[in-house]
Structure 1
Amino acid sequence: MRIVTRWLSIVIPVVMSISGHADQLNSSKLISTEQLKEDFQQLYAGLQLGSYDLYAHRSKAEFDSMFARGLTELDEPLTVFEAQKRFMKFAAHANIAHTRIDFPMADFMSFIDQGGKTLPLSFSIDDNEVRVDQYFGLSDKIKHGHQVLSVDGISVNDWLKPLRGYLSADNAQLRNELLEQMVAPLLWLDQGQKESYHLKLKDPISNNVFEIVQVTLTQDKQSQQTSESQTQTDSKPREYKVIDGAIGYLKPGPFYNVYATNEIETWDNTEFKTFIDDAFKHFIEANVSTIVIDITGNPGGTNSFSDLMLAWFADKPFRFASDFRIKVSALSRAANQARFPKSGSADDITTKLEDFYSRHQEGDVISFPLDNSLPNAKPHSIVDKNINVFVWIDRFSYSNAVSVAAIAQDYQFATVIGEKTSDLATTYGAMEHFKLTHTGIQVGYPKALIIRPNGEAQPDGVTPDVIIPNYQARLTREKRLKQVLAFLKSSRLEKQ
């Protein structure tokens, strides 16, 4: 597996949220100083107007100061690409994952296709400790697990600091997880192509500290190495199987159509429903006593998919949130109206949102009425089958995968196991977009506060009912599954 494959598998669903809004921009187009300032003013005004609470983590005074400074610094024409870099940092300053301008993936891929060279390694970042995760270079000295002490004579955390500024995240751990997948692309964004990097590394076994100059490499020169990392691309996006004759293993994969060829197909759940129904029927026929649902490393998606899975083991009606508070704005109404088809009928939620907006005033914060999702009736249910269901999460479970865990936990449909998620169950979400007039840059913002089913209003991740000790989130999925199954057996949580 080469490093660009890794970026595509992580960056597209997580950073771009499969939103369909990562439009191809004319990146080399030169924008006048006056137009840049108008777009920057539109950016800040739009974020204030549409966001549920732009100042949840940063004060208005901080933002006003950053805006004034940024406006002054727009003192010469810039390309769309350079403007996008500045505006990305401004949006990311909110420390809200859904307040963001997406990474210019099309430009980066063009750079790669044209023979661009990048740093041939990725990092794992835990707190302030940075290690080599995967290495794609040609040196036999750099190994998985080596601690990175400095780069180009700068302590590694100071070196990474400018890159963190581009990433929108609600907490430091989530930002680090995004960063470790994106170091090489963000280096290109921030600095352009460099010929080499001077690395100071430490071998954790021998404690030997050494320095090496690592040259950047084109994609075809980067080696296809493997490591213990879970970030290797899984062979199947979705999978189910029976283990040891008694344990059903289900990896539902992303909660969107992984086989879609366009944005409309992305939300077609036909394939997913067939897959889920086949999986649970197979488990019933195999007479399993335990089911492990693996949503680790899952980028999320939408509940129109995940509810189909939950309905198989839910024993009561359920909702993905106890409250869904929307801030009414002209921006959000316009974004919703854009989803109406030119002919035919709009989907149910689009129609309901239009009615909702029409009945409320600009700036109102109102709870949007949510319908219950219903459990399946027999024979499409395992509720009466005396099967233990475990939902397995970790720090790499994102977005709707976190919501699935919260529903399973709060309604007591299943036992949640693994490690705490970095992404949040109560969160600022329901993302919408608006476009800046002159640059064409798309800006994302959260129009709602989504409160998890148990009513906990404090934004936080999902803490498992059962935390697996010494869990290693970066091992391959196969090795982590062995660890989980061994733990279930040793702790007698698995039904015999």
Structure 2
Amino acid sequence: MRRHHFHFILAIILFSCKQPSKQQENPFTSATFKSLPKYPSEGLLSDFDLLVNSLKEGHTGIYWYSSAKSFDSLVSVQRAMIKDSMNGFQFYNIVAPIVAFTKEDHCDISLSDELKAFQRQQGKFLPLSVLNSGDDAFILSDTVSGHAFKGARIVEINGLPIKTIKEKIYKTFGSDGNIMSSKIVFLDGIRLAVEYAKVMGQPDSFNITVVYPSSEKQETVSVKPVTFKTLKAIETSVNVAYHTDTSNLPASFKCLDGNTAQLTFKTFSNSNFRKHSMNFRQFTDSCFNILLNAEVDILIIDMRENGGGSEGNEDYLFSWLTDKPYIKYDSVELSRFAFSFINYTDYAKDSDRIDLYKELRYENELTGSGRILRRKGIYTPTPPRAHPFKGHLYILTSGWTYSGGAEFCSLVREHTNAVFVGQETGGGYYGNTSGTLLELTLPVTKLSISIPILKFNLAVHKGIPGHGVIPDFEVKPSFEAFSKGIDQELEQALSVTPAVEIK
């Protein structure tokens, strides 16, 4: 929280020290944002309170990783920041940390259509595409304003360390629990530039300090911002230069040699499979029939881009990896059967609201403990196979592996001896809050918030609370490997000698 009132003596002392730039002080009050509407404090407070109350009422897992006391404490701090005549960006940066504090990746906040249009038409962006590795960010763009920055590591932008910038941006979007892998990978490519513009500001120039890995030479260069159209062109050129896989196929299968096969699932979404004239279950069955008939001994399942999809596909895939009975969920919990804020959501239409409430009543019941849980028999996990794959199993994971993709990984970790390679999954080990999402639109500022209402508690016990599946072999992204087209996680998996077979 910024403090604006100082004792006179303290103010003199601070004035003599290095002062933060104007951009850091008031990043969204410059002439750049003059055309944006400003909202009265009454309207902003009304939107703020609606958001907070809706999260408390609808988000079933809101206190899974944080206490009610800590949440309310943050709410009090952020609410006190609201002033009269704020624009949408300023308000976004007040409420986004509250949404992020739910610590659920399915709970998102989006700019209004007006702010999105502003970004597309008038936005000023860093002319960069990057690869993140921990706190570091390496520039993928070939040239920036005539400067050959490719491969350079960013040290500072406009006087702020890149680590500080990332930490501030991280506070505006959530991840499951305390998982950082999903936040790190989310800022890859041009997304660092996009999020910087939303959170840090849109100045008329950027002083970028970089270090060149080959020489360790440090240099600070002033560059001009670019439009969103130019930023997208940078993204395209980087994808071409680094032969980035832009295939939209939801899944693929290939034999790497006579004894090793790779099965890739980028999604579990049935609609995505149908879009490509594929059927998830038919595809999965055919792959495992090939594996069993060919007596392939080593299977690598690539889940690095799998953010989930249609419920049930994760355990359908898992059923091919075990012949032992298992329980998928301890419980699936609903927050309530009806919502006071429903008229501000995508279920505001009478027919939509009635259908939603009917479905919630049909699938869930109020138990003696006072909890609303999914009725028995509504969902039954796929039973194990009589003849599953019993060879050596490797799972490739990343921060993009979440929701149903992470649930699959949790089941595999819990019930097999599979070896995990890559980064911690972006999805929590013990489940997530997802399923039906209520898209809340704040009536004054028009910011949009996705509120998940079903808490899926996986029947697993081997994980670390607040984290995802931790890989057995962690692979930290490397610019050198990326620039050469080396698949680090796959290479690591292939280099590990099979030790034990899955149970």
> For this structure pair, what is the TM-score category when the shorter chain's length is used for normalisation?
0.7 to 0.9
Q: 1:155 aligns with which of 155, 161, 170?
A: 161
For 1:205, give the aligned amino acid.
Answer: S
Q: Is 2:434 the partner of 1:421? A: no
Decide which of 283, 308, 311 is 2:316's aligned counterpart.
Answer: 308
Corresponding letter in the other structure for 1:199: I
Unpaired segments ≥5 residues, structure 1: 1-26
Q: Give the aligned residue type for 1:423.
A: G
The alpha-carbon deviation at position 38 of structure 1 amounts to: 1.8
Rounded Cα–Cα distance in structure 1 between residues aligned with 2:474 and 2:62: 37
Give the match for residue 42 of structure 2: 34
Measured after TM superposition, the shift of residue 407 of structure 1 is 0.9
Percent of aligned positions that are identical: 17
Q: Which amino acid aligns with 1:225?
A: V
Shift of 1:311: 2.9
Q: Name 2:10's counterpart in structure 1.
A: none
Q: What does residue range 30-429 of structure 1 map to in structure 2 within 5 Å? A: 31-52=39-60, 54-58=62-66, 60-78=68-86, 83-102=91-110, 107-108=115-116, 111-112=119-120, 114=121, 116-127=123-134, 129-135=135-141, 137-138=143-144, 139-144=146-151, 146-169=152-175, 170-171=177-178, 173=180, 174-180=182-188, 182-191=191-200, 193-218=202-227, 219-220=229-230, 222=234, 224-225=237-238, 233-234=246-247, 236-257=249-270, 259=272, 271-328=279-336, 330-331=338-339, 338=347, 353-355=360-362, 359=366, 364-369=370-375, 371-375=379-383, 382-383=387-388, 386-412=390-416, 414-429=418-433
| Matches of 1:108 and 1:74, distance apart in 2 | 22
Write the deviation string for residues 350-400 of structure 1: whole angstroms up to 9, x where unpaired.
Answer: 866323656369x943443564322366xxx752x6543333323442222
Structure 1 residue 45: deviation in Å? 1.4
Write the distance in 2 (CA, Å) between the matches of 1:226 and 1:356.
Answer: 44
Paired letter, 1:156: I
Is residue 49–residue 329 contact of structure 1 (8 Å, CA) maintained in 2? no
Q: What secondary structure does 2:149 align onto?
A: coil
**Inter-partner Cα distance in structure 2 for 1:408 and 1:33:** 51
Partner Cα distance (1:346, 1:283) in 2: 43
> 2:154 touches 2:209 (CA, 8 Å); kept in 1?
yes
Give, in whole Å, the separation in 2 of the partners of 1:179 and 1:120.
14
Structure 2 residue identity aligned to 1:273: R
Are the counterparts in 2 of residues 255 and 302 from structure 1 also a CA contact under 8 Å? Answer: yes
Q: What secondary structure sits across from 2:321 in the alignment?
A: coil
Q: What residue in structure 2 maps to residue 12 of structure 1? A: none
Check conservation: 2:426, 2:468, Cα contact below 8 A. Answer: yes
The 8 Å contact of residues 54 and 94 in structure 1, kept in 2 or not, is answered as yes
Q: 1:403 to 1:462 in 2, by over 3 A?
A: same
Could you list the per-position Cα deviations for residues 71-102 of structure 1 after superposition, in whole angstroms to 9, with x for gaps in the alignment? Answer: 45444355556544432233223444344323
SS in 2 for 1:189: helix
| Structure index of larger Rg | 2
**1:164 and 1:61 mapped to 2: Cα distance?**
22
Does structure 1 conserve the Cα–Cα contact (< 8 Å) formed by 2:123 and 2:197? no
The letter for the 1-side match of 2:158 is: D
- Structure 2: tracts of 5 or more residues without a match: 1-34
Corresponding pairs, count: 450
C-alpha change, 1:248 and 1:110, in structure 2 (3 Å) is farther
What SS does the aligned partner of 1:168 have? coil
**Cα 1:483–1:90, aligned 2, differ >3 Å: closer, same or farther?**
same
Q: TM-score, normalised by structure 1?
A: 0.74
Q: Distance in 1 between matches of 2:199 and 2:242?
A: 26
Change in Cα spacing, 1:87 to 1:420, as seen in structure 2 (3 Å) is: closer
Q: Does the Cα contact within 8 Å between 2:330 and 2:458 map onto a contact in 1?
A: yes
Give the 5 Å matches for 1:450-469. Answer: 450-455=456-461, 458-464=465-471, 467-468=472-473
Residue 322 of structure 1: SS of its match in structure 2?
A: strand
Are 2:60 and 2:334, in contact at CA under 8 Å, matched by a contact in 1?
yes
RMSD after superposition: 4.3
Shift of 1:52: 3.2
Does the C-alpha gap of structure 1 residues 324 and 213 become closer, same or farther in structure 2, counting only changes over 3 Å?
Answer: same
Corresponding position of 1:22: none
Structure 2: how far apart are the matches of 1:354 and 1:111? Answer: 41
Q: Deviations over 1:179-214 (max 9, x none)?
A: 445311112223554343111111233221122223
Contact 1:402 1:424 in 2 (8 A): yes
Q: Which amino acid aligns with 1:217?
A: V
TM-score normalised according to structure 2 size? 0.73
Q: 1:327 to 1:119 in 2, by over 3 A?
A: same
